[in-house]
Amino acid sequence: MSAGSFKKKETTWLVFVLLQPFIGLLASLKYYKSPWVKNILWFFVVFYGFTLVISNSGIDANRIRDSLLIWHNTAMSFSNLVSLFYSESSTYLDVVQPTIMFLVSRLTSNYHVIFAVYGLVFGYFYSRNIWYILDRSGKKIENYNLVLIITFASVIGFWNINGFRMYSAAHVFFFGAIRFLLEGKKKGLLIASTSLFFHFSFMLPVVSLILFSLIKNRIHFFYIFFVVTFFMSEINITFVRDILLDYFPSIFDQKINGYVNETYAENIAFQGGQMVWYARIYYDVLRWVVVVYLSVLYFTGLKQIQMSKKLTNLFCYSLFFIGIINIVAHIPSMGRFYAVGNMFAIAFVFLYMQNFPFTKLMKNLNLIMMLPLLLYLIVVFRLATDTMGIITVLGNPLIALFFNPDIAIIQLLK
């Protein structure tokens, strides 16, 4: 294809996507090998952010909307904000989210704007992470692997900008770490470390990546560690809290006391018990799928894995990091890091399936895993409808500027 015709095709798609972002995105995926498609996804995530619907009082978006209104009506200079970062007198242990909140609040109190900005940041790393894996998938994606790449894109999907701090940090970390693991780029480790500016808790995955770089690829050790920690039943929360208070700087004391205590753990457990059944089990379903895939590939595909240093790195780090999460997941809120570990694990399984001959065993394994993965995806997409509006699906930026009824898809389905 000539440069002129390529440019014409790209322009045509741009017009299409501006008129119908959601339908344009779905249609463009047919050309996923073209570099411009990832920018269509990026644009759609921004559009989703602008049209995000706050459909219930239990999601983080409520707090963000209320905080933006308060900040908009509060006189504050940027130097005042900076003085609060990493200060014992404040709770600001992150930099990115408060900075965005400050800049947007100087212009508007419209929460749609701040979520569009969140989409701009989140969408960049989200789209680049998906295409980083797609670009290394080699041949055309096999039909039996489609569900794997869709699962990868859904583990921390674009609808997670509702939890911007945690999940943007996750994609920034993956963006850097995957380059460090597959290409050996030292700057990848540096990029992964910037996730700390999004969410302070990413000290854990950053330290795990540094430790992994020192331990190197000890496949058997990592697999044993992964299995043993999987069956750990509990952890002494008070002991962990005391250790953290002793060794972490005092600016972390308020966060540690708030998150690492028995009362908070009981509250989290109670809230979990109030969820509908599918919201309680869907992440456990994916967790078991990951365990089965990694175990089967360890026992049957080790020779092939070791033929590729890149895949060996990714496999070993997946085992190591998920093993760490198996230990700390008993601390309230730390179980969220399973999502990060699952991104690495699903990326590994997908790349393995794409780059090695598809044996009868792998075919049977994929067939067995199809049902739980489809169950997981159905639940994930159902949860996404809590914040996806009818304008997100049927509208476009021009319509959204003048007509945004804040009606979520789930409200139409009930």
pLDDT number for residue 80: 83
pLDDT number for residue 264: 45
* Residues 215, 282 within the same domain: yes
Tens digit of each residue's pLDDT (9 = 90 or more) over 137-194: 887 888 888 999 999 999 999 999 999 999 999 999 999 999 999 999 999 999 999 9
* Residues 11, 92 within the same domain: yes
* Residues 117, 262 within the same domain: no
How far, in Å, CA of 295 to CA of 307, rounded? 18
* Residues 375, 406 within the same domain: no
Tens digit of each residue's pLDDT (9 = 90 or more) over 301-341: 899 999 999 999 999 999 999 999 998 887 777 788 999 99
- ∠ CA 226-231-237, rounded to 5°: 100
Q: For residue 76, give its domain range.
A: 1-135+387-414
Residue 252, in any domain of the structure: yes
* Residues 1, 122 within the same domain: yes
How far, in Å, CA of 221 to CA of 161, rounded? 36
pLDDT number for residue 90: 64
| 400-405 long-range Cβ contacts below 8 angstroms, 24+ apart | 400/47, 400/50, 400/51, 400/112, 404/51, 404/112
DSSP per residue over 359-394, as a string? -HHHHHHHHHHHHHHHHHHHHHHHHHTTT-BHHHHH
Residue 197, in any domain of the structure: no
Q: Where are the alpha helices (DSSP H) in 184-252?
A: 186-193, 203-215, 219-230, 237-247
Contact 148, 342 (CB under 8 A): no
Residue 179, in any domain of the structure: no
* Residues 217, 107 within the same domain: no
Spans of the chain, pLDDT less than 70: 1-10, 87-91, 233-280, 414
Tally of domains in the chain: 2
pLDDT number for residue 265: 46
Phi-psi region at 52: left, alpha or beta (left = phi > 0; alpha = psi -120 to 50): beta
Residue 77, in any domain of the structure: yes
Residue 73, in any domain of the structure: yes
Residue 146, in any domain of the structure: no
Which amino acid makes up residue 1?
Answer: M
Which amino acid makes up residue 153?
Answer: A
How far, in Å, CA of 220 to CA of 33, rounded? 36
Residue 190, in any domain of the structure: no
Contact 86, 196 (CB under 8 A): no
- pTM of the entire structure? 0.89
Among 218, 206, 200, smallest CA distance to 258 is for 200
Residue 301, in any domain of the structure: yes
pLDDT number for residue 91: 67
Question: Which backbone phi and psi does 304 adopt, to 5 degrees?
Answer: -65, -40
* Residues 71, 28 within the same domain: yes
Say what percent of the chain tops pLDDT 70.
Answer: 85
* Residues 251, 316 within the same domain: yes
How far, in Å, CA of 97 to CA of 86, rounded? 14
- DSSP assigned state of 408: B
Q: At what angle do helices 21-28 and 3-19 cross, to 10 degrees?
A: 140
pLDDT number for residue 330: 75
How far, in Å, CA of 28 to CA of 22, rounded? 10
- Any bridge partners for residue 408, and if so which? 389
* Residues 358, 407 within the same domain: no
pLDDT number for residue 380: 92
* Residues 369, 403 within the same domain: no
DSSP 3-state of 157: coil
Among 293, 265, 267, smallest CA distance to 366 is for 293
* Residues 51, 120 within the same domain: yes
The position carrying tokens 């092939």 is 304
Number of Cβ within a 10 Å radius of residue 357: 6
* Residues 400, 334 within the same domain: no
| CA-only gyration radius of the chain, Å | 22
